[in-house]
Structure formats: structure tokens, C-alpha cells
Structure 1
Amino acid sequence: MTWAELKARLEAGQDERTLFLPSDLSPEELARHAAGLANHKGGTLFLGVSREGRVLGVSEIHPLQITHALFQLTGGLLLPYVEAVEGPEGRVLALHVPQSPAAIAVGAGRVPFWDGERLTELRMGQVLPEPDLTAQVLPAAGLSDLDPVEVLRLRRILEERGSGLAALPDLELLYALGLLERVEGQEKPTVAGLLLAGTPLALRRLLPQAEVSYYFHEGEEGYTFREDILRPIPALLERLRDLIQARNRVRYLTVGLFRLEVWDFDGEVYREALLNALVHRDWGSRDAIQVHHHRDRLEVSNPGGFPPGITPENVLRHPPKRRNPRLAEALYRLGYVERAGSGVDKMYRLLLKHGKEPPEYRLYPEALTLVLYNPELDEAFVREIAEAQERLGGFSLDHLIAAGHLRRVGEATLEELARALQLPEEAARRALARMERMGLLRREGGRYRLVRRDSLGERALGLLAQPLSRREVEGQLGLSSRAALALLNRLIREGRVERVGRGAATRYRRRG
């Protein structure tokens, strides 16, 4: 590691796989922190650095002395590769710590863990975290299994994000992303490394379960198109986007000065669904992820269920839990996912603001299917939501969920809305009370109803002071033929508009 490479790593800061320590600690404290890295995800410990990433320097201790001390203090379970890096600000030791397949204790009875911010401990006898398969190194894998073109793709992604990691040489870049480990003096790719930058041959030989099968269904009987894709994740996502977009329809709605694009399946939504399947799938299973594209729904199925404690009933509110932290961390650094686990929130928000249904989760014994529905577009509701957001300064996700639920069912009790919101009833009551004050809801007899301003209907009534044809209504309101007809029929049912004439001579006018 060069001095410039070291500075780039320090500039990136501490995280779940990077730890900064001053040199004035006891061997036991150093062993505890190094074991904490090994017990969690592995990574690099920089000795002689402040918590803020400032070089403090370290004495002329030989790297082999560090290796020997850690080996002795951990009962022979920890043997990191240690290198000295010297520059104008001093000398730093970089300890490359592999993830341990078994818990490493330092002292009697406790196992240290580094979580990215602090060192915690697990009592002996407690259940250890589920092993991260994406952090493992496959014995048959080597550097030649990584595709230089895919490594360049990762660098370009980091450059576009303005990340300091993009300045690192290839090997240091791969180490920083957790895609490479040193095993017995040799650099070897982790499973995450193969998934993000492996050659097609290596994926076929070592990780055939990385394949994703895409099916397009024109009707309900069988599929009309299929493609099996076995590529590193960035290339895989690009190909899936191309396949879906080639069959994805868009509608344009004009709201005030803005034009909204409403796709059958929003690109950000299905990308989140695909990333969730990749990050949370069981990589120990030999089964592939499947994507079934129907006109009215998109289904993404992956091996493995939710992480322990998460269910379809609490997925929106449960704190994030990652089955494959090494892969998730690399995807976070590359800008594909949020570390805070906000992907489910994003899917809900984008679906609901376009008048669609929340995602549906179907659990099976060894698999999980996420369904994104594409119902008939309710143009009036989408316009109302957009206008209300502009008028009120934005909606919270709770507002969107409650409004969407009431649009679908008409009216609901507090208990029913609390289930839709995935909130305790008291928290749901507060959210609904705020919507009442905003004029979005009204409560009658213990049931809530949506207050629809019907600005589109009011505009139509203003136009229909004189008789107009359906096509004239379409043109002046910027509606599709189907939406204009639905609006006019609703106003007729409500007794506010009447139809006069027949056939091509049919006109619509306001009553009274």
C-alpha cells in the first residue's frame, strides 16, 4: 500500500470493515479490536491513526511482532497480514484481518464485535450471527476469476459518485470494497467480489446460482419470452432494465406546469425489488432468482425468506437486517443501496404517489416473492395527490399509505388503517388526526373516509357550462380517452352533468 492509497482509505473514514486506532494501546486492547473485526466482517485495522483519520504515527515495531502477539492472545485463531506504510506524516501499520469462520475470544468468556462505530461484546454461549456467505473466499477462486472490464466498471461508478475510492489502484480498490482478501499470502476474491466483478466462466463454475431468469408473459398461459442472465451484478441490473423497459408502458399526466411520467413499473421501484432479492437471498441455495413480467404485475422471487424477525406485516417498520452484509456494504459504497435500509420505504412512496398498490410479499418455506401490481391508472387520484403535495408542502409516507388504502377500500376503521400503516393504533391515530387537520380525511362514526377535492371534476364542470364533446373535454383537460370517459360518467352518476344527443352528436353539459 502506498502513502497516497493510505490517505485515500483514511479519507473514506471508519466503517464496518475499517477501523482506526492510536498506537498507545495495550496488546490486549489491540487484540480485542482486531478480533472484533474478524468476528464481524473482517477488514483493515490502521494502527497509528486518530478516530477522525489523522495520522498519529506508530513506533518502529516490526509487523511480525504484531502478528505474533495477536496469534498468541487469540489462541492461534487470528493471523492477520500486517504491512508498514510510511510517508511525510509518519508511519502507519495496516492490519488486514480476514473474517473468522468461528468466534474468536480475547480473555475469558467474551467475544468482541466491531459494528462500524464501537466495539461491543457477546457473552460466550449466546447465539452467533448468521455467517455471511458473501464474505467467504471459495478455495478454488483466484485473482484470474475477476474480469478487468468489470473492475473498471466499478471504478467508473465510484468516479461518477465522486468517491475517493476511485483513486485507489485495482487491488486496493477491491480490498476497500471487501471484494478481496489475503489468504496464506495470496489475494483471493470473496463471494461478493465474484458477484460484482467475476468473469462469466468463474460465475458459471463457482456461483451458478448467481443466474437470474427473466420471463415475459403476454397472457396467463405460459411465457412468450425468456432470458437467463449470468453476469456480475452491475451488468446484470443493466440487462434486466433493458428487458423490462422494452415492455414497459408510460402515461403522461399534466399537473399545473409539470408533466408526470407514470410507468406500468417505475424504474426505481423494480430496481429496489431486484436489489432486495440480490442482497437478501440465500446464496447457499443453488436456485436462481426469477423475474416474471406480466402486464398487470411484476414478480421477483428469490431463495430464502425474510431475515429472522421480519414478516410481511412489519417489513415497513422493522429496523433493517441484512443477510449478506459484505455484499450489501459494497453495493452501498457503489451507490446501489442505502445503508439505512430505506429501499422498502422508497418502493412504497413511489408506488403510492402514482396511485398504485403497496408491494405484496408472499412467503414460502424456502423462498420469497415480491409482487408489484400495475392496476388501471386512476388519473384523478394521481392528480389530487400531486396537487395536495404541492399545496401542503409534501406528504409523509404515512399520509400516502392511508390515502392509498382509503382510495381502494372506501372507508376503514382505526384498527384497519393501523394494520395498513404497520403502526401501533396510538401512533396511527396521531398520523390520521394530522391528516384530518390537513383536510385530507374525515371521521364519521369511528370510520375514516378520504376527502377528495376533485379539482379535475371542478375544472370539467367549469368547461361544461356550454355543451362539449368527449374529445373536446379530453383536449382541454389533457386526459386520455378512457380517463375522460370515466370522469364524465362519474359526474353523470353524481347528477352534476348530463348527456345530450346520440352517437357522434353526443355532447356533455353541466346541470343547472
Structure 2
Amino acid sequence: MHAAEVDQALALPPDEALDVLARLPEGQWFERKSGRVDPKDLAIPLVALANAEGGCVVVGLYDGTVDGVPPARVNALRQAAQDFTRPVVRARVEEIRLSDDRCVLLLRVDPGEAVHETAKGDVYLRIGDESRRLGFAQRQELEYDRGSAPFDGTRARVGVDELDPIEVGAYQQAIGSSSPDAMLRARGLLTRDREPTVAAYLLFARSPQMLFPNAHVRVLRYTDVDRGTGARLSLDDDADIRCEGSIPQQIDRAAHEIERLLYRRRALSASGRFEASGIVPRDAWLEGLVNAVLHRSYSMVGDHVRVEIFPDRVEISSPGRFPGIVNPDRPLDISRYARNPRIARVCSDLGIAQELGEGIRRMFDEMRSRGLTDPVYTQTQSGVRLVLSSLDMLPEEIADQLSPGARQVLDVLRSSGRPLGTGQVEEAARIARPTAIRHLQKLQELGVVVWEGQSPKDPRAVWRIS
């Protein structure tokens, strides 16, 4: 579900709003609780949402019906955050009165500026439609990543008049808010002093590059599988494009340029005819682009999102390493964590992004459906790189014979886009030389890689994918 669906429901008359909310599926930003819920139990989704991207908890809906909150329980539930969360979760409470003395409570939770826990000391994180309790190691990593408030919630040091009223109005209409100010406050896009946050400025300013010159996407196309340097630089003429503007505008413009510049090849289509199609499926590179823009580190100056198009692959790089709770070697196991929770939620409202884990799974499915190798994530000292290769996937009978170490070596060769020497493989994979040689020989035995050299001691010998 999109986060905007809750706000759209609340814009309806009370009876209709409750009927819609009772039927909406629970998800990343929305949960229902019965009016009989214990305040201690209500603290769990409050903590989970605050540790993720915020959201709404509706109390008084159960099993598709409205059971309401009795008058005697209203105050205890309103004070659940104050009494049972540490540090106190910031939650604004609204009431929808029913025909009798009961009411339905709506608790709007803001993204936290630190790691929140329940009164028992348990830490929860919202992942999809679950409030998942974190183990000791996961909690440590979350505390490390939340050492300071998310940058997109800090003050942008500009006035509200710097925001484009047309863009703000379009978003207000999209989520069904009563006024621009109410909409901005509902999504945490204004500070308590009514100043725009960094998220508001990046999403709605006419030219966010005035304050954040590196907040743009750069699309480049190369004529060779290797970038080259100096006189051998393979960058295509007129194929170095900067896509600026607000975040939604950047994504739209970058997607248009990637579609235009992407290398194509003729392949048998679903219609039974040979047709030209991109070397990488559109849904795969588009998901990679959206994730790079939404989850990059905007506090890091001096770098930007880059999409590099080669004859055999697409590489997408973004500033900011993965948070500690994410293992880049197992991307399908990535739990939801947004570095920029306000930006991610607004882009979900606009239909630009879905849930993080879902998007990565879709990317893998798209590549596999075309018979292409899986996406490869690598982490540098200051950023993340995604490689979407046009190489064919390994046959299952070969893949089953590869150890995790051999797969890692193969990923290194695939992501490099060029042949590598044994020392280069050793360094890139961060393994000992004998280990690298053992894995390379296994890959050679299976016909996956080929060794090219004049003699066993040739210093210029390289390994390339078969």
C-alpha cells in the first residue's frame, strides 16, 4: 500500500473513513489495533514505526469492524508513548468520535532521532506489516546507524516560500490533505518553528542544487567495456548528462536519459518476434536508480549519484555506505531501513517507490526472468555500487558446484567489466592469494572463466569470464 492511502481515507466523512481504514491492508506505515489493546502492547508498534520511517496506528478497529475505544481507556492509550517508550516516541493523537461515547484514536508517529525501546527494554523495527523485535547484534547496529538524527529531518535554513507552490499543491492533492501546511507537518517536512526540513527542500524546492550542488544524477555512456583514462577515455560524445531539479524531477529525467542511451540487442520477445530491447530490463535499472536517489547520503558533499552505461552492463553508484544492519553480500535478506525516512515516505505517496525489500526482490526477478546474472552490490569506503550485467546466468548444474567463496570471486570478475590478474582478484575480493587461486581454478575447471597468459609466471596474465 502507499502511505497516502491512509490520508486519503481520513479526508472522507467519518463513517466512510473508518470503513476504508478497516479494510486497508496493514503495511510499512500503517497498523490497526483493537480498542481493547493494552497500552504496553500499543507501545510496540509505536517504537517500531519510530525506529523506521514513522507512520500511523489506528486504535479502535479490529477484524474489519469498528470496536472503538471506551471513554475510560482513552487517556491511558493517549499516554502510551509517554508511559511505555524510551526515549518518548513523538506521536500526535487525533480522535474520530463515534455515535456513542466511544471513539477511534489515530496516532501519527514521527521518525525517531534515536533508537527507541519499550519500557521492558525491547527494540522493534517496522519491516513490511510486522513490528519485528531486534536481537542484540541488530540492535547494536541500529544504534550505531542512528547515532544522530536522520539528516533529511534537519533544518534546511530556508523559508517556506523557497518551496514550489505548484509541486506542494500537487502533493497535497495526492494525499488528500486539507492544507499545504497540514500536509507538510503530517510528513515531518516542517520543523517545530515552521521551517522546511532538508527533505522538504530536496523534494519541493525549485532548484535544490542551490544549497546541495551534488544533489543530482549524472548519466554517462561509454563506448567500451572499460572506462579508460586520458586519451583512451571511452566516454561517448554528448553522453554525459546531469539531471537536476527536485528529487522526483531528477528520477524522471534520469530515467528518460537512461532509456535513450541504453545499449540494445535483438532478442526473441513475448510476441514471438525478434525485437530490439535494452541489455538490462527497464524495471531492474529503474529500481536501482530510485533506490540510489532515495537512500543516498545527502549529508556527504563532493559526490553525486552516477549511472554509467557500458556495452555489457549498467553501473549505479551512490554516496553513503549501507547501514550496519544491511549485509551487501546477501541483498535479498536486506531488512527495510531508510537513511532518509521522510524522503522515502513522500516518494511512496507519489508512487515513485515501494518497500525497499520488495524492490530489490523485483530487481532480481527481472534479471532472472531474462536469464541474466544476479545484480551485484559492492561497498566502497564511501558509497555503494550496483552492477546490472547483461551476462547470462550460470546453468543450475554449475551454480550448485560453486562455494560461496567461488561465487564471490565470480562476482568480482563480473562487476569489474574487464579481465583481472590474480592479484587484482585477491585485492578486490579481500582474500588470501592461495584462496583466490583455488577459487579461480575451480571456476576454470567448470568452464566459467578462462586464463590468458604466455606462461605460468607471466605478470600480465589475466582471468576473464568465459
What's the TM-score bracket when you normalise by the shorter of the two chains? 0.5 to 0.7
Which residue number corresponds to residue 487 of structure 1?
A: none
- The SS at the match of 1:101 is coil
User: Contact 2:35–2:68 at 8 Å: present in 1 too?
Assistant: yes
In the alignment, residue 256 of structure 2 is paired with which amino acid?
A: D
Asked if residue 366 in structure 1 is aligned to residue 382 in structure 2, the reply is yes
Q: Percent identity at matched positions?
A: 20
User: Contact 2:336–2:355 at 8 Å: present in 1 too?
Assistant: no
TM-score normalised per structure 1? 0.59
- Seen in structure 2, the aligned counterparts of structure 1 residues 252 and 74 have a Cα distance that, compared at 3 Å, is closer
Task: Report matched runs for 1:162-201 at 5 Å.
Answer: 169=178, 174=183, 179-180=187-188, 184=192, 191-195=198-202, 197-201=203-207
Which residue number corresponds to residue 67 of structure 2?
A: 56
Asked if residue 341 in structure 1 is aligned to residue 350 in structure 2, the reply is no
- The SS at the match of 1:214 is strand
Ranges in structure 2 where 5+ consecutive residues have no aligned partner: 1-9, 410-443, 449-466
In the alignment, residue 241 of structure 1 is paired with which amino acid?
A: A
Asked if residue 45 in structure 1 is aligned to residue 57 in structure 2, the reply is yes
- TM-superposed CA distance for 1:263, in Å, is 2.1
Which residue number corresponds to residue 247 of structure 1?
A: 261
- The SS at the match of 2:308 is strand
- TM-superposed CA distance for 1:139, in Å, is 6.0
User: Contact 2:47–2:124 at 8 Å: present in 1 too?
Assistant: yes
Which residue number corresponds to residue 443 of structure 1?
A: none
Which residue number corresponds to residue 300 of structure 1?
A: 316
Task: Report matched runs for 1:104-503 at 5 Å.
Answer: 104-111=116-123, 113=125, 115=127, 117-119=129-131, 121=133, 126-127=139-140, 129=142, 130-131=145-146, 133=150, 136-138=153-155, 140=157, 144=161, 146-151=163-168, 169=178, 174=183, 179-180=187-188, 184=192, 191-195=198-202, 197-201=203-207, 203-204=208-209, 207-217=212-222, 220=228, 221=233, 223=235, 224-225=237-238, 226-253=240-267, 258-259=272-273, 260-286=275-301, 287-308=303-324, 313-315=329-331, 317-324=332-339, 326=341, 327-328=343-344, 330-332=346-348, 334-339=350-355, 341-348=357-364, 350-351=366-367, 358-373=374-389, 401-403=393-395, 414-415=401-402, 419-420=406-407
User: Contact 2:190–2:200 at 8 Å: present in 1 too?
Assistant: no
In the alignment, residue 167 of structure 2 is paired with which amino acid?
A: E
Question: Residues of 1 paired with 2:294 and 2:286: CA distance?
Answer: 12
User: Contact 1:401–1:420 at 8 Å: present in 2 too?
Assistant: no
Which residue number corresponds to residue 102 of structure 1?
A: 114
Question: Residues of 2 paired with 1:73 and 1:295: CA distance?
Answer: 56
User: Contact 2:172–2:180 at 8 Å: present in 1 too?
Assistant: no
Bigger radius of gyration: 1
Question: Residues of 1 paired with 2:271 and 2:112: CA distance?
Answer: 58
- TM-superposed CA distance for 1:86, in Å, is 2.9
User: Contact 2:191–2:197 at 8 Å: present in 1 too?
Assistant: no
User: Contact 1:47–1:92 at 8 Å: present in 2 too?
Assistant: yes
Which residue number corresponds to residue 7 of structure 2?
A: none
Among 34, 54, 73, the alignment partner of 2:46 is 34
User: Contact 1:84–1:93 at 8 Å: present in 2 too?
Assistant: yes
User: Contact 1:137–1:181 at 8 Å: present in 2 too?
Assistant: no
User: Contact 1:3–1:87 at 8 Å: present in 2 too?
Assistant: no
Question: Residues of 2 paired with 1:152 and 1:231: CA distance?
Answer: 17
Among 11, 15, 19, the alignment partner of 2:31 is 19
- TM-superposed CA distance for 1:332, in Å, is 4.9
User: Contact 1:136–1:191 at 8 Å: present in 2 too?
Assistant: yes
- TM-superposed CA distance for 1:289, in Å, is 1.0
In the alignment, residue 366 of structure 1 is paired with which amino acid?
A: S
Asked if residue 84 in structure 1 is aligned to residue 95 in structure 2, the reply is yes
Question: Residues of 2 paired with 1:148 and 1:12: CA distance?
Answer: 31
User: Contact 1:304–1:368 at 8 Å: present in 2 too?
Assistant: yes
- TM-superposed CA distance for 1:198, in Å, is 1.6
In the alignment, residue 367 of structure 1 is paired with which amino acid?
A: G
- TM-superposed CA distance for 1:84, in Å, is 2.0
User: Contact 1:413–1:447 at 8 Å: present in 2 too?
Assistant: no
- Seen in structure 2, the aligned counterparts of structure 1 residues 415 and 305 have a Cα distance that, compared at 3 Å, is same
- The SS at the match of 2:65 is coil
In the alignment, residue 302 of structure 1 is paired with which amino acid?
A: S
User: Contact 2:263–2:279 at 8 Å: present in 1 too?
Assistant: yes
User: Contact 1:412–1:449 at 8 Å: present in 2 too?
Assistant: no
In the alignment, residue 322 of structure 1 is paired with which amino acid?
A: Y
Residue deviations 1:232-252 (CA, integer Å, cap 9, x gap): 333212211222233335444
User: Contact 1:215–1:292 at 8 Å: present in 2 too?
Assistant: yes
Question: Residues of 2 paired with 1:28 and 1:175: CA distance?
Answer: 30
- Seen in structure 2, the aligned counterparts of structure 1 residues 320 and 138 have a Cα distance that, compared at 3 Å, is same
- TM-superposed CA distance for 1:108, in Å, is 5.0
Residue deviations 1:451-471 (CA, integer Å, cap 9, x gap): xxxxxxxxxxxxxxxxxxxxx
Ranges in structure 1 where 5+ consecutive residues have no aligned partner: 159-165, 376-399, 423-445, 451-512
Q: How many residues align?
A: 385
- The SS at the match of 2:257 is helix
- Seen in structure 2, the aligned counterparts of structure 1 residues 298 and 140 have a Cα distance that, compared at 3 Å, is same
Question: Residues of 1 paired with 2:350 and 2:158: CA distance?
Answer: 23
Question: Residues of 2 paired with 1:144 and 1:18: CA distance?
Answer: 31
Question: Residues of 1 paired with 2:325 and 2:37: CA distance?
Answer: 38
- Seen in structure 2, the aligned counterparts of structure 1 residues 244 and 39 have a Cα distance that, compared at 3 Å, is closer
Which residue number corresponds to residue 413 of structure 2?
A: none
Which residue number corresponds to residue 459 of structure 1?
A: none
Using CA pairs below 8 Å that are at least 6 residues apart, which structure has the higher relative contact order? 2
- TM-superposed CA distance for 1:319, in Å, is 4.0
